[in-house]
Amino acid sequence: MHCTVAKIFLEQTKTMTGVKLPNLHPDTWARDLLVLGKAEDRAIIICGMWSLWWLRNKRRHGETTMLVKQAVLWVRDTAFDLWEILHRSRLPAIKENPRWKPLSVGWIKCNVDAAFREESGRGALGGVLRSSDGNFVGAQARIYGNCLNALTMEA
């Protein structure tokens, strides 16, 4: 509760979502988080606190972690992502069978995929270009030595 990064997380969460940490008793704060406020708000706070604890443990055990500036951005993005996930429509997803669809003549399609290895902070990216008739145009792959996370690699 007194960690600088945790405070930033809670401030960013409140600013972006309106969710704020309720007043917590020092002896019962963990239980309080499970019963106070709306369920969505509790979920954001609990998931965020777990993420902060995970990040803290990595740093404390000597694993490579983020710089403070990166942590602030990560905290902001995590808070926003949690809020987005919890506020999506509750409608069941429509299942589609993905299939290749021909492009308009003259267009080129680029399929991209990435991979990330958390232990080393390394990642890889690959892309394939195909013409409107489905013919191979080109491809490229690249390894990155300093990656933030899997989401960043996918982006």
- Each of the 155 residues of the chain gets a pLDDT tens digit; together they read 667 767 777 777 677 667 766 677 778 877 777 776 777 677 767 777 777 777 778 778 887 766 656 666 666 677 677 767 766 655 566 677 777 677 888 899 888 888 888 888 899 989 999 888 888 999 999 998 888 887 788 77
| The pLDDT value given to residue 128 | 92
Tell me: do 73 and 8 sit in the same domain: yes
Tell me: do 79 and 114 sit in the same domain: no
- For tokens 């709306």, what's the residue? 38
Q: Point out which residues pair with 131 in neighbouring strands.
A: 108
| The pLDDT value given to residue 140 | 92
Indicate whether this model's pTM tops 0.75.
no
| The pLDDT value given to residue 69 | 60
Within a domain: 39: yes
Tell me: do 55 and 10 sit in the same domain: yes
| CA 107 vs CA 52, 122, 129, 133: distances in Å | 44, 33, 10, 9
| The pLDDT value given to residue 45 | 73
| The pLDDT value given to residue 42 | 72
List the domain range (segments joined by +) for residue 138.
Answer: 108-154
Within a domain: 76: yes
* Euclidean distance between CA atoms 155 and 151, whole angstroms: 6
Q: Is 141 left (phi over 0), alpha (psi -120 to 50) or beta?
A: beta
Structural domain tally of the chain?
2
